[in-house]
Amino acid sequence: MLHFPERKLRPGVKSDTTRVLWARRPPRAAVVFVHGYRGEAIGTWSRFDALLPMSPKAADYDLFFYGYNCFSSNTMAEASLLCDFLTELHEDGGALLRKSLALADVRPGPLSYGEVLLVAHSIGAIVSRRALLFARQLRRPWEERTRLVLFAPAHRGAVISELLAELEGAWLSFFRAGFRHMSPLVAEVAPGSPSIVGLEADVEREVARGARHLLATKVVIAEVERVVSNLKLHDLDPVPVVVRGSTHTSVCKPRPGFLQPLTEVEDVL
């Protein structure tokens, strides 16, 4: 095992749902997984938590499964909180390590990440890109040491009825009228909404100013997709990679015999 078993990032904080697998040897980088609508820190990425630590390529990475409110909150607030979290990782990661891993001393040296790879699913892609835009505006020194890998990104919005229908193993997927529920987040991610249009314009503008890290390193899309549009974000992002036989939900869930989601991430480590 190249990593310590999964645990809470902040053991004493009940409301914090972020989980972490600390690398056993001093890491050179980190991967932060960011889930989508009503997702769970680990559940959305089911089996990444078990399979990625087996990969020698991941040995030098701390693996964070970021937990946040992707239901009743809004993308702006959550992006700001994610930006704060990334700042904390860069500026005070050692303190996080010591609180979460009682044996922090077995990993010598200061904690300093050369790079943070954000791996985001669906609405998590909106939250992640917006977080990087905030980091740029705030002139965070770490902002250019980030890369994005996006699974089924919702950068053109998401259809709420299909988001609910695709919630795997969740009782909400049983209800045909659940989409009548409205929240700031649901309104924000509606296709054509000002928030969605604004994000695209902001990314385009900042990329033109040289912020190449706002472009995705890789975009992975589902073969059967009804929740989001598979259209590229103008000509900014790379040609997408398709996971055969996948849906919006399964595109980011590797399992034995269906390892492409895993290999797509391994390829960029």
Partner 1 sequence: MDYLETNFADLEQQYLRRDETSEALALLRRSRSPGKGIDLTWLLRHHDEGDVTDPETRKRDSFDHLLAAYGLLEIASIIRFVPGDVPIAFREEALGQLSHPAVKKYYETNYPLLLPSLYRKRLAGEASEDQPGDQTQLHGLFSRFLGLVNRLDADEEVETFLWFVDSGSIGSANLGTTKRLLRNHDRTMKVLLKRAEDRTAAEDSVCGAESFLRFCAELDALLAEAEDFPVFQAAMWNFYAYWFRLIGRDLGDALVGILDTLAGWVSEVSEPHEMPDRSRREDLVSQFWRSVEPDTTSAAVHRRYSDLLRTLDESGGGVDARAIRAYVSPVKGAVERLLSGEYGRALRPG
Which residues form the interface with partner 1 (CB under 8 A)?
Answer: 1, 3-8, 14, 17, 19, 24, 42-43, 49-50, 53-54, 71-72, 101-103, 106, 156-157, 159-162, 165, 169-181, 190-194, 196-197, 226, 229, 231-232, 234
Across the strands, what pairs with 19? 8, 65
* Minimum distance, C-beta of residue 11 to partner 1, in the bound complex (Å): 8
Nearer to partner 1, 36 or 53 (CB): 53
State the amino acid at position 5 in one-letter form.
P
Residue ranges in 4-74 assigned as alpha helix (H): 48-51
* Minimum distance, C-beta of residue 176 to partner 1, in the bound complex (Å): 5
- Least Cα distance to 131 among 181, 183, 174, 68 occurs for 68
Nearer to partner 1, 131 or 165 (CB): 165
The 29-34 sheet, strands edge to edge: 7-8, 19-21, 61-66, 29-34, 115-121, 146-151, 216-224, 241-247
Nearer to partner 1, 105 or 110 (CB): 105
Nearer to partner 1, 14 or 244 (CB): 14
Nearer to partner 1, 132 or 196 (CB): 196
What is the spatial distance between Cα 186 and Cα 179, in angstroms, rounded to a whole number? 9
* Minimum distance, C-beta of residue 40 to partner 1, in the bound complex (Å): 9
* Minimum distance, C-beta of residue 194 to partner 1, in the bound complex (Å): 8
Residue in the structure block whose two tokens are 């398709």: 242
* Minimum distance, C-beta of residue 259 to partner 1, in the bound complex (Å): 14
Q: Do 215 and 236 contact (CB within 8 A), yes or no? A: yes
